Structure 1
Amino acid sequence: MINSTQVSYFTLGAYFDIGLFKYLLFTIIICFYAVIVCANLLLIVIICMNRSLHEPMYRFLCSLFVNELFGSTTMLPFLLVQILSDIHTVSASFCFLQIYCVFAYGTIEIINLSVMSYDRYLAICYPLQYNTSMTYNKVAMLIALTWLFPFIEVAVTISLSSSLQLCGNIINKVYCDNYSVVKLACSVATVNNIYGLFITCLVVFGPLILILYTYMMILKVCFSGSKQTRQKALSTCTPHLASLINFFFGSFFEILQSRFDMSRLPVMLRIFLSLYFLTCQPIFNPLMYGLQMSKIRSLCKSLVFGKM
């Protein structure tokens, strides 16, 4: 499929010569990557090794942390190489692999967050039925769907994009993006646009409607419930809400860069916005959940300081 395109490589046009500043940028990103790997791995180990954390909420959290490792590991090493390189080109096959990884990461993230909101909805609105509703098999099925559906959906997207006849090879971003490739097509990509609109509605608006509904129900219970109920909802929903806002904030700027001409913006600002999408969510989630949730926080202290 990829051989049918008219180009064998793409040029990433968002990079520019920043002289010695590239070494500072390289250092910052590699520090971010080290924090991402260490923080997410630490929390994955803590959740897997402690039986007290083998609850549905923490299993979904573990899935979220694995996705942060997946997204950052598939993209940040490439960015580090590109920052130090003087030639910012990427082969067509590797470009589509990048698109696959970025889209899969984003789709898994939003579905995982929507499943977590559904889990909190059951725990707060139906606490007595929670254990019978959220069984081990149901949790396993939800996590499996969270990961399987995005990989299948993105595979269809890549197959459509890679079959297009392209009349250019310059992508004005720091990594490959599907919509940027579609814009290079010699003719109107009707099928791609229709499928893209359908998937956007399914992947974005579907989870968003579920999240809004669950939080409306949670707020309703909080306002009519006891002080203890409100405190429980606040302690478990605050990190989730913060994660949602952070993810949609980064995704919004990422979509703006793909859909609109951002050439008037300073290049460093465009690079920063792209890095925000790739680094802030994987850093933010483990720190937010690790600091906010008392169970994880105490176990982190025990593991790090050797007071098991």
Structure 2
Amino acid sequence: MDVHSNITYLILGGHLQLSKYRYIYFSITLLLFILIICSNTIVLYVIYVHESLHKPMYTFVAALLMNALFGSITIYPKLLVDLLSATQTISRPACRLQSFLIYVYAACEFTLLSAMAFDRYVSICRPLQYHSLVRPQSVKLILAFAFCVPTCKIGIGVILSTKLELCKFVLMRIICDNYSLVKASCGDSTVNNAYGLSVMVLSIVPHLIFIVFSYMRILVICLSSSRDFRRGALNTCLPHLVIFLNFTIIIMFEIIQARIPSGIPHIVRLIVSLLYVVIPPLFNPLMYGLKMQEISQRIVALF
């Protein structure tokens, strides 16, 4: 506790086992951050400057890449500073803000992937209705929903956690998350845990069901269509499907390792806790930049 400013500071104890090789970890983290910024920005630039890419499908791709940049900027600058610092501290309000932004990033990723699945479903299964269902106004409403609803849900959970008093001031993490803050608090946290669990389920399960349903319908249509149709559907759906599976598996690993005690080494836990802001932000622009022909051709022309 800072007596003069009356601000509670927390120690990010997850760095304790990283001090020996801090400069190596710093270099790797900085390189990852630069690659994430550059790769996502290049694809976003290509989509922005070419009017032929101003279509709903590419608008959703751009929103997904912007969300990846948002999540990365939330974590990497503070992490880079901590890796070079002798002590890794953060004020409680800043910790709550970081956990809020991280959770919003993860929740928005699922809503955006659902929006992209809807776009592919209508395009392939109801092509005659595509332009009436996926209009520019509809895209704006879907994107507003994809960002606003998760923000509100996560915000309520963070507000609930502010009412709890802290008993522990060391978080065995290298980044802040609301679950760790609740665990470090005193008193009855039943309401917080119940709300957090319900938000986690509602942020994953409905989107998972919808995307699986969409691809089952797309698969049925493809099996009864020509080879050229199947090839075209595969080219547009494969990047999205791979990215969805990739992000879902990573998030499941993070949820399990953070909540279920196990004998997993500390360094492995730390790596797993960062995978969702390492692999998707790097992997997504590569998938869309290489696998979607209209984007890849323009990236080649750019260089």
**What TM-score, normalized to structure 1?**
0.93
Which residue identity does 1:205 align to in structure 2?
A: V
1:145 matched residue in structure 2: 145
Whether 2:32 is the aligned partner of 1:32: answer yes
3-state SS of 1:90 partner: strand
Alignment of 1:49-68 (within 5 A): 49-68=49-68
2:291 matched residue in structure 1: 292
CA RMSD of aligned residues (A): 1.6
Whether 2:267 is the aligned partner of 1:268: answer yes
- Cα shift readout 1:14-61 (whole Å, capped 9, x = no counterpart): 212445521111111111111111111111111111110011100000
Q: Which range moves more in the overlay, 78-87 or 192-201?
A: 192-201
CA distance in 2, matches of 1:233, 1:190: 46
1:116 matched residue in structure 2: 116
Answer yes or no: is the 8 Å Cα contact 2:100–2:177 preserved in 1. no
CA distance in 2, matches of 1:9, 1:291: 45
Answer yes or no: is the 8 Å Cα contact 2:154–2:199 preserved in 1. no
Answer yes or no: is the 8 Å Cα contact 1:160–1:192 preserved in 2. yes
Which residue identity does 2:295 align to in structure 1?
A: I
Alignment of 1:51-90 (within 5 A): 51-90=51-90
2:218 matched residue in structure 1: 218
Structure 2 unmatched runs, 5+? 1-5
1:134 matched residue in structure 2: 134
Answer yes or no: is the 8 Å Cα contact 2:57–2:116 preserved in 1. yes
1:3 matched residue in structure 2: none
CA distance in 2, matches of 1:77, 1:256: 26
3-state SS of 1:15 partner: helix
Aligned-pair CA distance for 1:249: 2.0
Answer yes or no: is the 8 Å Cα contact 1:64–1:112 preserved in 2. yes
3-state SS of 1:14 partner: helix
3-state SS of 1:188 partner: coil
CA distance in 2, matches of 1:137, 1:17: 51
CA distance in 2, matches of 1:128, 1:232: 17
Which residue identity does 1:229 align to in structure 2?
A: F
CA distance in 1, matches of 2:196, 2:119: 29
CA distance in 1, matches of 2:41, 2:300: 15
Which residue identity does 1:155 align to in structure 2?
A: G
1:247 matched residue in structure 2: 247
Which residue identity does 2:48 align to in structure 1?
A: C
Size of the alignment, in residue pairs?
298
**What TM-score, normalized to structure 2?**
0.94
CA distance in 2, matches of 1:230, 1:117: 17
Structure 1 unmatched runs, 5+? 1-5
Identical-residue share of aligned pairs (%): 38
Aligned-pair CA distance for 1:187: 2.2
Aligned-pair CA distance for 1:193: 2.1
